[in-house]
A and B are shown apart, each in its own frame.
Chain A
Amino acid sequence: MTSQPLLSVEGVSVELPTPRGRLLAVDQVDLSLAPGRTLGIVGESGCGKTMLSRAILQLLPKRAALKGRVMFDGQDMVRLSPEALRRLRGPSLAVVFQDPMTSLNPVLTIGTQLIETLQAHLGMDTAAATRRAAELLAAVGIPAPEQRLRQYPHQLSGGMRQRVAIAIALSCEPKLLIADEPTTALDVTVQAQILDLLAREQQRRHMAMILITHDLGVVAGRADEVAVMYAGRVVERAPTPSLFAGMRMPYTQALLAAIPKLDSPPHTALPAIAGRPPDQTRPLPGCSFAPRCRHADDQCRAAKPPLADSGPAGSQYACWHPLQPAPMPEA
């Protein structure tokens, strides 16, 4: 944690114009990630985690307004020229999107989509790139890779497609991989396989990873550190063991409670989080979670709690009435 960070997000806000007014998708987020480490970003859909990842990748929609700095490897991504950014994407920074149905181009073969990446950055000739592409497919667990190269995305299953997307992301040996809900669109049975594949490749290549998910269970054993987002803000951030040992923010606890447990008796009602996420075109003066929080009082509705350091090293939370850190067994 003390080494020079590979990525540091400093005071990043993203505003999107919508027909109903300006939407504050990301609100003053600070994050940092050291080389080779994994950061989990957790939150409900619409909490701004995807927009944050797009802000890091500099792939925001044209009309989005970005404030703050995204320092990657000592350079501010926000100020880089399009050409410099292009050279960075692929060899330094790669992404796996949520839905491999839509993230692979339907009219280009798998081979083309892999080879073009290799050729764009590594200057390989077609024969070398084709060999490398087959090796990459084999490395992500795709059988008969040479034949797959000639196939189109629709001829593969969802899990296979996501493996292809991972192979493309890994092809130029990136220093940082952003996996944006990489398993949400997949069958439950292949979700664990994909996550294990990502973890294995990360170890092998010593690359940093941001794992974005709505499922605290996904980050539990896989991330070194977890940031919980709500309504565009980071509301709690801690090394994974200390987070699960004692979460301070009621929202984090609610997220954890919403995970189905295998040992619950059949027909147990899932404790869903009551209410809906706030309308981010109409920001609240106080804590955004207050309308849904059991512990909320007048202070919560009047003023936003700052993201403050807490007891254990590296832990932060934003709450006026934090839960008491009870000693909990590790998840």
Chain B
Amino acid sequence: MARFIGRRLLYLLPVLLAVSLLTFLIASLLPGDLAYAILGDQATPEKLAALRAKMGLDLPIWQRYLHWLWGVLQGDLGRSFRTGEMVLNAVLDRLPVSIELMIMAEVMGLMIGIPLAILCAVKSGSAIDRFFTGFAFANLSLPSYMVAILLIFLFAVQFNWLPATGWVPFSEDPVGNLRSFVLPALTLAFAEWPALMRVLRSDMIATLQEDYIAMAKAKGLRPARILLVHALKPSSLTLVTITGINIGRLIGGALIVETIFALPGIGRLLVGAIYARDFIILQGVVLFVAAGFVIVNFIVDMLYGVLDPRIRHGRA
């Protein structure tokens, strides 16, 4: 197991480095340069030159990258030139909201996807199976902003059961906080469950034909144990893979959903930075999110080892 982690770690570092380089290069796509963007209308040649010198923009690009990377490694993602806020603080302030949203969404997605996958796998080929498989397929064509509109229309506008906006901190009003998360999380869950269900369903259908399932039946185990322990556990590897792949989409979805439902998370910070053309914040958030994404994927990889004893014992 230790060797397995070591090997993956060795791969993680160059990817993180490449991510940082790419993030830095994206920022250099800006027509003109940062000093020009900051000064805007008030730009005069003297002011521009002074600011460039102050920010080190007149250095060669590789020196600027190393300088920036050195700062990043010390936790300095820069400072917003509009609000003066430290980027790292801004990100860390909003991180809990995004994490709460994504965890709730993933849990809801799994709560919808897993039972449906089991149901459809057990009844494969039946009308129930065809209905939900078709529904999941159609659902894949339904982007989160449409789901959001639909849910707002139903739950907030028509019936007025749940708030469409109005986030409150958990520490002030726990119930209100959870209520404000229901619709956004449900929106994201709608994007999650079809993919989960489709993959898990076909995996379960294959697993249910294994000899060890016949053996479990021959042992006289209860159907629930056969399905949840003997069939679902081997399939959970696929579930972890697909959850890992989905994280990228989940982050993208969270970005849209946070904006729609006015949740003060990282997605909204990023979109807000784009609206405000606050490029320092933007760059910091992109790096943070991409690095986080890479690390989460790494953790998902590690989970394989925990779930599959064959990998854990080095027989991948």
Cβ contact within 8 Å between A102 and B210: yes
The verdict on A152 contacting chain B, using a C-beta distance below 8 Å, is yes
- How distant is A285 from chain B, measured CB to nearest CB, in Å? 34
CB <8 Å contact, A89 and B219? yes
Judging by beta carbons under 8 Å apart, are A102 and B217 in contact? no
Stretch at the interface among B52-60, B142-150, B308-316: B308-316
* Complex partner residue of A91 from B220, B221, B233, CB under 8 angstroms: B220
Asked if A88 meets B220 with Cβ closer than 8 Å, knowing A103-B211, A103-B212, A107-B308, the reply is yes
- Across the interface, B234 reaches (CB within 8 A) one of A59, A106, A121, A165, namely A106
A316 at the B interface (CB under 8 A): no
Task: Knowing A102-B211, A155-B313 are in contact, say whether A108-B229 is a contact too (CB < 8 A).
Answer: yes
- Residues in A with CB closer than 8 Å to B219 are 89-90, 94, 116-117, 120, 168
Chain A residues with Cβ below 8 Å from B229 are 108, 116
Interface size for A (C-beta < 8 A) is 32
B214 at the interface (CB under 8 A from A): yes
Does B94 interact with chain A (Cβ within 8 Å)? no
With both beta carbons as reference points, the residue of chain A lying nearest to B215 in the complex is identified as A103
Q: Mark A217-237, 1 if CB is under 8 A from B, else 0.
A: 000000000000000000000
B265 to chain A, nearest CB (A): 36
B221 and A154 contact, CB distance less than 8 A: no
Q: Which residues of A contact B307 (CB under 8 A)?
A: 107
List residues of B (195-233) whose CB comes within 8 Å of A's CBs: 210-212, 214-223, 225, 229-230, 233
Q: Which residues in window 78-99 of A have CB below 8 A to B?
A: 82, 86-91, 93-95, 97, 99
A104: Cβ under 8 A from any B Cβ: yes
Residues of A close to B222: CB separation below 8 A: 86, 120
Q: Tell me the complex Cα distance, A89–B182, Å.
A: 45
Interface of chain B, helix or strand or loop or mixed? helix
A154-B309, A154-B310 given; A89·B211 CB < 8 A: no
Q: Is the CB of B234 within 8 A of A89?
A: no
Chain B, 290-316, CB within 8 A of any chain A CB: 307-310, 313, 315
Interface residues of B in 259-316 (CB under 8 A from A): 307-310, 313, 315
Cβ of A193 under 8 Å from chain B: no
Q: Which residues of A contact B218 (CB under 8 A)?
A: 57, 59, 89-90, 93-95
A263, B229: Cα distance in complex, Å: 50
- Residues from chain A with a CB closer than 8 A to the CB of B217 are 59, 89
Given contacts A97-B215, A154-B313, A154-B315, contact A107 B234 (CB under 8 A): yes
B313 nearest CB across to chain A (Å): 7
A325 to B188, CA, bound (A): 77
Cβ-neighbour of A108 out of B211, B230, B313 (below 8 A): B230
Q: A124 → chain B, closest Cβ, in Å? A: 14
Residues of B within 8 Å of A108, CB to CB, are 229-230, 233
* A105→B227 CA distance, assembly (Å): 13
Which residues of B sit under 8 angstroms from A89, Cβ to Cβ?
A: 217-220
| CB-CB contacts below 8 Å: A172-189 with B | 172
- Which B residues are CB-close (under 8 A) to A102? 210-212
Residue of B nearest to A102 (CB): B211
Show 29 A/B contacts (Cβ-Cβ < 8 Å), sorted by A: A54-B214, A59-B214, A59-B218, A86-B221, A86-B222, A87-B220, A88-B220, A89-B217, A89-B218, A90-B219, A90-B220, A91-B220, A93-B218, A95-B215, A95-B218, A97-B215, A102-B210, A103-B211, A103-B212, A105-B212, A105-B233, A105-B234, A106-B234, A106-B310, A107-B233, A107-B307, A120-B221, A152-B310, A155-B313
**Which 7 residue pairs spanning A and B have beta carbons closest together?**
A90-B220, A89-B220, A102-B211, A152-B309, A105-B212, A103-B211, A95-B218
